[in-house]
Amino acid sequence: MPKAYLVAHIRVHDDEGYEEFKKMAGPAIADHGGRVLVRNPEADHREGDLRGSVVVIEFDDMEAARRFYESDVYTAARRVRERAAETDLLLVEGVA
């Protein structure tokens, strides 16, 4: 079964709120077996319009990624993030 990945571009406009989000999201990621592979606020942007910090989180499979995203703990964290930042976020399945 292929791994799954959460890929996000996050444009923070409230640093304090975003720090609160990170503290809330960390346990939810760990509870669902997620592993943060990339967290980089200064990506080498080459093409397209997406800007902001890049985050990539690996999960064992797509179901684990979906359970994480839909969990009550992450939903609460997401609400905090939505007040602190604009985000483009995808869940994608890796190559088998």
Domain span including residue 72: 33-42+51-89
Q: Give the whole-angstrom CA distance, residue 66 versus residue 47.
A: 28
Asked if the structure places residue 73 within a domain, the reply is yes
Query: What confidence tens digit (pLDDT) does each residue in 50-73 have?
Result: 889 999 999 999 999 999 999 999
Scanning 8-71, the segments in alpha helix (DSSP H) are 15-31, 62-70
Residue 2: band (very low, low, confident or very high) from pLDDT cuts 50, 70, 90? very high
Token pair belonging to 65: 């990624």
* Count of structural domains within the chain: 1
Share above pLDDT 70 across residues of the chain, in percent, rounded to a whole number: 100
Query: What confidence tens digit (pLDDT) does each residue in 74-95 have?
Result: 999 999 999 999 999 999 999 9
Asked if the structure places residue 22 within a domain, the reply is no
Asked if the structure places residue 61 within a domain, the reply is yes
Asked if the structure places residue 60 within a domain, the reply is yes
